Structure 1
Amino acid sequence: MTGLRIDGLGFSYGAKRALENVSFEVEQGAFCALLGPNGAGKSTLFALLTRLFTTREGRISVAGHDIASNPRQALARIGVVFQQQTLDLDLSVRRNLRYFAALHGLAGRAAEMRIEAALERMAMRERADELARDLNGGHRRRTEIARALVHQPAVLLLDEPTVGLDAEARRAITTHVHDLCAGDGLTALWATHLTDEVWPEDRLVILHRGCVLADGITREIAGQEGLTERFLSLTGAPA
């Protein structure tokens, strides 16, 4: 079953093409890395996936729902972690999640059960009553992911989720999301420009100048030269 499908997607900022005939699909339960240098079109693609932008070029399907013809159903199946931090720093971890649950029409015992489950999945239950401003960067990101899971999405979108984190925190967040895919059947699209965040068994889409340059399993795309060298050779970036 397909979790996320993108067919022939295109988008322009005036005369500038940002995406050109972008097509790929991610199976349910798969971790897909969207790898590209800055300016590749990753953020534009995420804006289309979340309906911040719209386009008449191509189609997007989320868990079987077309985002143009059934936007409410499609968006209800998406959880999003944006590149910029979006927590209310004056609220506790739990209250950040509770507020988000209310926005999705969840309240009472049902909401609390989902909140507890999301905190448990991200190993944040012990910090649930701490203010968000008192958390380090890694725990803030875990809170944002937990919040994105409260409404039980089928697809989790993460736009450069490790920006500003140290190596240990980056590895922990990456591992947590892989575990969600393997254990819970969640489909994840992880946008990054860092090759060390991509695992050999991951699904990989390399995006550059708005075009898909490679699409497949990481180890097969990387080949003998390794992912970093393969990525640099495809995108023409300096070593």
Structure 2
Amino acid sequence: MPFYHRPRNFIPLSIAAEKKSIKNGLHHSIFTSRFDRYVGEWKKDLKEGKGVFLTISGKFNRLPNGTFRLEYRGEWVKGKPEGAGWRHYENGDVYFGFWKRGHRHGYGKMYYVNGTIYVGYWNKSLREGLGMIIQENGNRYEGHWMRDMKNGLGRFYHMHTGQLQEGCWVNNICILSKMSDIEIRQFCDMPSEYPIPEETLANPRCILEESVTWLQQKIGNIDKQLKFCIDQM
């Protein structure tokens, strides 16, 4: 009587079903256990390519109307944001720029909910390199950053009183600076009563060149992309 022989290319149904369940290519809607939704491209069961990640509004509880809010829109690599993309944070902050392994990395802009704007460079979601920040009160800092703080050479515009402060910063504190009036001082909100006297030192540059603190500061290179943004502001 004939015997059943399993074909050489036989694949158990459990393994075949598992392979079919691996997400590859474009999928319209993939829901998580908390009912978040992802619309975009996949590769080997990981988000990769372009996509949009949406979360349920509220504390991740499903609402009667099933409302979603946009959380991230941009490029993915191995399930994490990488490349260019938008991120809408739950507290209202918005970031647009480059990502690497899920972190803000490279050139980008952050719009904080309190009105502050940062334009510059990031390293693992921390401000690092050259950047400019415009505070909610209008004051502005342009210069070098490290570990999310002002570190290195920079200049700070006191827009309420009309002064420009140029010097060295260490951990958000200015340790050495030169103060001067800006051209629109008299049009500021609270201009100083008297202008700052002109510099009377015979050779101020020599003093800076002999300062160890000044010489140790990082200057950095301003590229065209960042310079354009600073000029437009």
Same-fold status (TM-score > 0.5) = no
TM-score relative to the length of structure 1: 0.26
Higher fraction of helix: 1
TM-score relative to the length of structure 2: 0.26
- Bigger CA radius of gyration: 2
Which is bigger in relative contact order (C-alpha 8 A, separation at least 6)? 1
